[in-house]
Amino acid sequence: MYKAKKINLLVSVVVLRYKKLEDTLAAVGSVLKQTYKNVEIIVVDDATPDESYKTIAQKFPCVKIVHLEKSMGRSAHNEGLKMAKGDILVPIDADMRLPRDFILKLVDKFSRYPQINFIAPNLIHPTDSAFEWRPVYDPRSVVPGGYDCAGGLPAMRASAFDKVGGFNPDIFLYVDEWEHLIRIWEAGYRVVYFPGLVMHHTYSANPYRSMMMGYHTVINHIKLYAMYLPVYVWLRFLFHHGGQFSDAFATGKVNRLGMIKGVLQGIWVLATALPKRRVVSRRTLDSFMKYYFPVRGKVVVTKWGWT
């Protein structure tokens, strides 16, 4: 069993769900089984069209439930994060599971390294039989065993959440991690990845075939260009995403109708996003380009088979 010095920071785990009752019950159960006990659990129900959130409340009376009447996508996490009392905030999705020592290890990292404000876990399938999400990271250590990375959905200090803010309601779902990262970097923070800090992700069936993903991936990248990126890099991104679009459309990896809908609405999306434009600093842009267009040797991209 993992051992760490005695610490008593309150950790708030915020579980975001839309339907997936059994997954949600399993996720909450994994938090309750943690060896580290000073934990608050908040479940945010993102307008699931039934009353299954009541089942969660009945099974786990200690859990705080936030039921939304209108779906907010990724930014629904904010409703739980804002009411959380913890020193450390851990946003997860309903199909994620925490190994028994996960929070103990996480708290130990935050306690050992006060300069770290955001930590990205190593998300893997519990059977190692499915796609693994491991962040693109710099091979140079920031702290022993920890690496600067482009890590989505990181655990964070509450003080850093207060400064950076939560997930952007303008980015409903998909690409939300990149938008959040941009604001983390702009605030002067980094995200640190620890390969040994493993979290399990069961993954939904056929995640790449939904219309929602096809549509939101297209329009949210347009919003990202408009809100943050200098015009001189737009052409590179358009060329890159044009190639991805063609490949995805030809192979059907992403719902074609959703992609077409996103492209047709592109001009309108661009026009509505431009008034919110805040071009990023050179430092943030360099980080974004480094991880978005990874170069072999300069970064490690485990999920693409690079070492």
> What does 40-66 look like in DSSP terms, one character per residue?
EEEEEE---SSSHHHHHHHH-TTSEEE
Contact call for residues 262 and 217 (beta carbons, < 8 A): yes
* Residues in CB range of 287: below 8 A, 6 or more apart: 150, 185
The pLDDT assigned to 5 comes to 54
Q: What token pair was written down for 67?
A: 């039921």
Whole-angstrom distance, CA of residue 148 vs CA of residue 132 = 19
Q: What token pair was written down for 48?
A: 């699931």
The pLDDT assigned to 301 comes to 86
Q: What token pair was written down for 304?
A: 């693409």
Q: Where do we find the tokens 């010095």?
A: 5
Whole-angstrom distance, CA of residue 189 vs CA of residue 9 = 21
Phi-psi sector, 161: left (phi>0), alpha (psi -120 to 50), beta:
alpha
Helix (H) or strand (E) holding 140, with range, is strand 136-143
Name the CATH topology of 11-201. Spore Coat Polysaccharide Biosynthesis Protein SpsA; Chain A (3.90.550)
Residues in the chain: 307
Q: Look up residue 279 and give its DSSP letter.
A: P
The pLDDT assigned to 205 comes to 56
Q: Where do we find the tokens 């008593």?
A: 8
* Residues in CB range of 32: below 8 A, 6 or more apart: 41, 60, 62
Helix (H) or strand (E) holding 211, with range, is helix 211-228
* Residues in CB range of 40: below 8 A, 6 or more apart: 10, 11, 12, 13, 64, 84, 85, 86
Spatial CA neighbour of 42 closest among 8, 85, 3: 85
Tens of pLDDT, residue by residue, the chain (307 residues): 555 555 789 999 999 999 999 999 999 999 999 999 999 999 999 999 999 999 999 999 999 999 999 999 999 999 999 999 999 999 999 999 999 999 999 999 999 999 999 999 998 876 655 456 788 999 999 999 999 999 889 999 999 999 999 999 999 989 999 999 999 999 999 999 999 999 998 866 544 457 788 899 899 999 999 999 999 999 999 899 888 888 888 887 777 888 889 999 999 999 999 999 999 999 999 999 999 999 888 899 876 433 3
Whole-angstrom distance, CA of residue 76 vs CA of residue 80 = 8
Q: Where are the domains of the chain?
A: 11-201, 206-276
Determine the angle formed by the axes of helices 176-186 and 211-228, rounding to 10 degrees.
Answer: 20
Distance of alpha carbon 194 from its chain centroid, rounded? 15
User: 3-state class of 166 per DSSP?
Assistant: coil
- The residues that bridge with 246 in the sheet, in sequence order, are none
Whole-angstrom distance, CA of residue 125 vs CA of residue 97 = 10
